[in-house]
Structure 1
Amino acid sequence: MKEIELKLKGHIKRLTNETFKFDERIKDGWFSAVYFLKTKEITKAFKADNIITMQFFQKEHAVLCGTDEVIALIHTFADEPEKLEIHSLKDGDKITPFETVLTITGPYQNFGYLEGIIDGIFSRRTSVSTNVYNVVKAAKVSGVQKPVIFMGDRDDHYTQQAGDGYAAFIGGSTAQATHAMSEWWGKKGMGTMPHALIQLFDGDIVEAAKAYHARFPEDELIVLVDYNNDCIEDALKVAREFGDKLKAVRVDTSRTMIDQHFIRHPELMGTFDPRGVNAQLIFALREALDSEGFSHVKIVVSGGFNEKRITEFEEAHAPVDMYGVGGSLLKINIGFTGDNVILNGQPSAKAGRKYRPNPKLEIVEHELIQYSK
């Protein structure tokens, strides 16, 4: 196994193929487009002395993620990686359309077959980090940042959790639903109770919360209160039972449901959409908790939230303390492209593409790269 140390912007990052759990079949071209593999063989036979520069870019305003992973990939699977010249931005950099984020210079046959894999790493990681950055930004009003919980475990294949969690961390979310999501950046997942726990106690919110608190007394007690579709009444039941021990309540009402609060008070309806988690429900919940002296209890909302909905809640000054966001953060909407733009020191690219130098790129210093078995 190779261990790689590289210095970027004055600090040392330690990257290993164990960190990223690369599939060893990458070396055999199993995950590369076949035309890249054929080009590698043709180049070895007919153009072995070539030196090309490959550059990578995308077309959005984004938060870059994937550079560490890509550099580790290159130094794990390229032939003679120590002879390649690599310039890179770093994870977390803000990038603009067509801005060059990485260049690799060396013989095509030594690394060219990794092009599609590099595009894919950048695309997924940057999409997630940018999505998270945008919702975190939406949840910051008047200089106060409300936490965003990354809850993307059920929205994609489980093997993606570590990389997605790292990208979410780069985007600004440090509260994550699984241990795997925080594997690459050294924390552990956080969470309280699902609807399943309340079901096991026949829908009794208080008894479920008692069991949770008895088993995990050191945890902050955050209780899910929408199981019976009566958020305010159930929140008050839990608050009366636990008092100062209750940290927060979470509202996760389905968008096809109308909470019992509005059924009891039909006069409140008619000027807004009463389904699901809505700002009016959260205002009413806050007022009910405060009226009984439970102003310390925070409110967490989840269920279909994205940048647009968070912005709407914040513009309405809804009294939300924390957002839980899942599927919308995993939309892959940023695609990267790798182009060969210099051949043997001379500009050379397909029509419509060209070398785009970027003074922000930093060289990966090869003297800091160490290999050990």
Structure 2
Amino acid sequence: MKEFELKAKGKIKRLTNKTFKFDERVQEGWFSAVYFLKTKEIVEDCIPDNYVTMQFFQKNHAVLCGTDEAIALLHTFADHPEELEIHSLKDGDKVSPFETVLTVTGPYQYYGYLEGIIDGILARRTSVATNVYNVVKAARTSGKQKPIIFMGDRDDHFTQQAGDGYAAYIGGSTAQATHAMNEWWGKKGMGTMPHALIQMFKGDVVAATKAYNKKYPDDDLIALVDYNNDVITDSLKVAREFGDELKAVRVDTSRTLVDKYFFRNQHLMGSFDPRGVNPELIFALRRALNDEGFDHVKIVASGGFNEERIREFEEMNVPIDIYGVGSSLLKITTSFTGDNVLLNGEAEAKEGRRYRPNPRLERVEYIPEKD
């Protein structure tokens, strides 16, 4: 097991390849662009004594994530990692366009074939972290932070969950849908009931909630209330049944449906889009709960939320207490580039690129493999 430490402001952070569980085929070049593999062979045969500095950057204001993973990759698969000089910013650092976030110096053939993999790690992790950060920021009003639940398990391949969940945590989401999403930061997944549970109780939300509460009495009781497309009626049914035990109701109405509340109150129609989870529905739900003394019951909303939509809801003071967000957080919005910028300590880069020293970078110290 290879280990290393990252010294930052007097503290030491220990990481291992066990944390990240890399595919061993990285060592064989399986995931590297073929031209990197060919370059490695040519350098080994023709010019093995050159020292190259490779620097990594991107072009947005972003929340950096993936540096720990990239460094672990280098110390796991580079040849003679103890001979590499690595400087890096930290996961969670705010970065500017073109700011250098990572540099690696050493013989090219030791690590060059990992360039594209590092770009990909930084791109995905930083994109998710930044997307989550922006959503979390949108849900912060009047000095109060509303929680964001990261619900991206159904929006991408399951093998991405651990890294995406960690990146979401770096971005500010402290609740994740699966155990895998929490693996790298030491928590467990959270969740209540899906529509599938209610379906097996033939649409009886109260019966499904009773079964859930009996099986998981220590969980905060949160009822999913949109199964019958009548969230106010079902919310009141559950609230009357459970009283103070009920902590929240979750509304997840499809964007293609209009809740039955509006068909009972057609005079409201015409001035807004009544489909899905909309402000008027949430305002009406809050009033209905409060009118019967259930003001302690929080409202969780999910389904199609992103930064822009959350900001619109917050500007209208829609009484949502917790947002569940999924697919919008997984979009790749940030791409990284690795460039060779120094050759044996002298400036040497392709036209338009140059070495950009960054005083914020910190040296990564290597610890040899333990017995």
Q: TM-score, normalised by structure 1?
A: 0.98
CA contact (8 A) 2:5 2:364 kept: no
Contact residue 6 and residue 365 of structure 1 kept, 8 A: yes
SS at match of 1:339: strand
Identity score, percent: 75
Equivalent residues, number: 371
CA distance in 2, matches of 1:168, 1:11: 23
- Whether the 8 Å contact between 2:128 and 2:167 is mirrored in structure 1 is yes
**Alignment partner of 1:53: what SS?**
strand
Please give the residue correspondences for 1:204-223 in structure 2 after superposition, counting only pairs within 5 Å: 204-223=204-223
CA contact (8 A) 1:163 1:181 kept: yes
- Unaligned ranges ≥5, structure 1: none
Report deviation, 1:26: 0.6
Q: Which residue of 2 aligns with 1:23?
A: 23
Q: How does 1:67-86 map to 2 (within 5 A)?
A: 67-86=67-86
SS at 2:299 equivalent: strand
Deviations 1:310-367 (A, max 9, x none): 001000000000000000000012100000000011100000100011111011123x
Amino acid at match of 1:181: M
Letter in 2 for 1:372: K
Give 2:175's aligned residue. Answer: 175
Q: Report the Cα distance in structure 2 between the residues aligned to 1:178 and 1:11, rounded to whole angstroms.
A: 30
Residue 304 of structure 1: aligned partner = 304
Match of 1:52 in 2: 52
1:13 match: secondary structure: strand
Query: Which residue does the alignment assign to 2:149?
Result: 149
What letter matches 1:41 in structure 2? E
Q: What root-mean-square deviation, in Å, do the aligned CA atoms of Structure 1 and Structure 2 show?
A: 0.7
1:363 aligned partner: 363
Alpha-carbon contact 1:192-1:223 (below 8 Å) kept: yes
Paired with 1:334 and 1:5, the residues of 2 have a C-alpha distance of 27
1:106-145 paired onto structure 2 within 5 Å: 106-145=106-145
Following TM superposition, the consecutive aligned residue runs of length 4 or more in structure 1 with deviations greater than 4 angstroms are none
Correspondence list, 1:269-288, <5 A: 269-288=269-288
**Displacement of 1:211 after TM fit?**
0.4
Deviations 1:262-298 (A, max 9, x none): 0100001111100000011000000000000000000
Q: CA deviation at 1:2?
A: 1.5
Residue type of the alignment partner of 1:119: D
Q: Structure 2: how far apart are the matches of 1:11 and 1:189?
A: 29
Do the aligned residues in 1 keep the contact of 2:82 with 2:368 (CA within 8 Å)?
no
Q: 1:7 Cα shift?
A: 2.0
Aligned residue number for residue 158 of structure 2 = 158
Shift of 1:3: 2.5
Report the residue type matching 2:323 in the other structure. Answer: Y
Query: Which residue is equivalent to 1:334?
Result: 334
What SS does the corresponding residue of 1:310 show, helix, strand or coil?
Answer: helix
- Whether contact under 8 Å (1:52, 1:340) holds in the other structure is yes
Distance 1:54 1:73 in 2: 15
Q: C-alpha separation between the residues in 2 aligned to 1:200 and 1:345?
A: 67
Q: Distance in 2 between matches of 1:9 and 1:67?
A: 17
Question: What is the rounded CA distance, in whole Å, between the counterparts of 1:9 and 1:192 in structure 2?
Answer: 40
Cα drift, residue 370 of structure 1: 3.5
How far, CA to CA, are the matches of 2:151 and 2:83 in structure 1?
A: 41
Q: Would you say the 8 A contact 1:5–1:370 is kept in 2?
A: no
CA contact (8 A) 1:206 1:238 kept: yes
Distance in structure 2 (CA, Å) of the matches to 1:60 and 1:3: 32
Residue pair 2:61, 2:97 contacting (<8 A) in 1 also: yes
2:370 is equivalent to residue 372 of structure 1: yes
Shift of 1:371: 1.5
Give the partner amino acid of 2:10: G
Where 2:6 maps in the other structure, the secondary structure is: strand
